């Protein structure tokens, strides 16, 4: 299956989000979408046409969006508050903290066009802080699905539980990462093993899992075997799986479309260090600077969030300098 991965059918995860929400709304009229002038970018135009009484438009007012969503949830509705991640998790952070998390309103906060999906629109439109700020808020699950399968399952699960969830989506078309067996169960807080190896473990989330898998396939040609984990839930982190794969492999690399501060990498590093699992370790992400201008792929390539960049970092970690300290 790994060799055929580029031929598998795929859509943007955001499209799967909209299709899944529409399917669920047909059976459950308690599902409500709330948008901030973002039904188009959130792929919810058809949802609004089919269910005009199940969508609320608040305009470009993210704080109102979260407040309205929290109010609806407090009345028993299953709410999906949808807005660009960069604005939703910055402008409305206080409302997310107090109206949603502290008040325990089961709002699904959906950050769209996340990471550097807006590309050349620049730093003002990039959400490279959302994992960090939302990880620091109690009673908040933080999820970044990697492929269409994970997206569909994440939306189904978010609609079924009664606690707040942050769901993060980019804009790229994403392939299925592997075949899904009938026995596979998707759970928040339980990472997915995409491929297995003994030399290195690459832990990624969201749209960075695919280049991580491509890097593993490239390294395989050099007889370097890598385990690739889709850590779709950044909080709560699957620490059992993290410990298992870190103990098994020689080096650990994390990859994320987020600042190197406060995200997946630091969550993994903190756990490993606290539990005395000492391995050569590297965080691949966006460094502490204003991002370069370009498309998402150009930005990925610049910062090494690519097949070549990830493979290069694995080779460095496995080099004698890292392993022996020479």
CATH code assigned to 2-175: 3.40.50.970
Indicate whether 21 pLDDT > 80.
Answer: yes
CATH code assigned to 192-324: 3.40.50.920
Using DSSP's 3-state secondary structure scheme, residue 12 falls into: strand
Tell me, what's the pLDDT at 178? 87
Of the candidates 126, 163, 121, 159, the one whose C-alpha atom is nearest the C-alpha of residue 142 is 163
43-48 mean pLDDT = 93
Chain center to CA of 144: 2
d(CA 150, CA 241): 17
pLDDT tens profile 218-259: 999 999 999 999 999 999 999 999 999 999 999 999 999 999
Residue with tokens 């610049």: 302
Indicate whether 78 pLDDT > 90.
Answer: yes
Sign of torsion over alpha carbons 87, 140, 82, 70: negative
Tell me, what's the pLDDT at 40? 87
pTM of the model: 0.93
d(CA 106, CA 158): 9
Give 321's pLDDT tier (boundaries 50, 70, 90).
Answer: low
Indicate whether 325 pLDDT > 60.
Answer: no
Sign of torsion over alpha carbons 119, 145, 266, 214: negative
- Mean model confidence pLDDT for the chain: 93
Within the chain, all domains assigned CATH 3.40.50.920 are found at: 192-324
pLDDT tens profile 95-133: 999 999 999 999 999 999 999 999 989 889 999 999 999
Within the chain, all domains assigned CATH 3.40.50.970 are found at: 2-175
d(CA 194, CA 209): 9
Tell me, what's the pLDDT at 41? 87
- Rounded to 5 degrees, φ, ψ at 144 are -130, 90
Cα Rg of the chain (Å, integer): 19
> Which range is least confidently modeled, 6-10, 32-36, 117-121, 130-134?
6-10
Cβ pair 212, 197 in contact under 8 A: no
**Residue 201, CA atoms < 13 Å, CB-side half-sphere:** 23
Q: Give the number of other Cβ atoms within 10 Å of residue 64's Cβ.
A: 16
């Amino acid at each position: 299956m790994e060799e055929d991965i580029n031929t598998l059918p795929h859509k943007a995860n955001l499209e799967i989000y909209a299709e899944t929400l529409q399917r669920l709304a047909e059976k459950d009229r308690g599902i409500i979408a709330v948008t901030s002038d973002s039904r188009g970018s959130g792929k919810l135009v058809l949802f609004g046409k089919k269910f005009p009484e199940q969508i609320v438009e608040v305009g470009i007012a993210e704080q109102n969006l979260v407040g309205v969503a929290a109010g609806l949830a407090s009345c028993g509705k299953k709410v999906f508050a949808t807005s660009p991640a960069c604005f939703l998790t910055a402008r409305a952070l206080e409302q997310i903290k107090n109206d949603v998390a502290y008040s325990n309103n089961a709002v699904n906060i959906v950050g769209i066009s996340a990471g550097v999906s807006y590309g050349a629109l620049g730093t003002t439109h990039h959400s490279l802080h959302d994992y960090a700020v939302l990880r620091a808020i109690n009673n908040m699950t933080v999820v970044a699905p990697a492929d269409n399968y994970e997206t569909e399952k994440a939306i189904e699960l978010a609609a079924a539980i009664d606690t707040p969830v942050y769901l993060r989506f980019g804009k790229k078309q994403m392939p299925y990462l592997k075949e899904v067996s009938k026995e596979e169960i998707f759970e928040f807080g339980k990472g997915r093993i995409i491929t297995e190896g003994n030399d290195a473990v690459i832990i990624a989330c969201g749209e960075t899992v695919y280049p991580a898998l491509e890097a593993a396939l490239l390294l395989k040609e050099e007889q370097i075997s890598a385990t690739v984990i889709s850590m779709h839930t950044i909080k709560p982190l699957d620490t059992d799986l993290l410990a298992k794969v870190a103990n098994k492999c020689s080096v650990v690399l994390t990859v994320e479309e987020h600042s190197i501060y406060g995200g997946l990498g630091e969550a993994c590093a903190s756990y490993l260090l606290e539990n005395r699992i000492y391995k050569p370790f590297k965080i691949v992400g966006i460094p502490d600077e204003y991002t370069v201008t370009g498309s998402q792929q150009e930005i990925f390539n610049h910062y090494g969030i690519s097949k070549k960049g990830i493979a290069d970092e694995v080779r460095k970690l496995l080099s004698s300098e890292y392993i022996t300290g020479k």
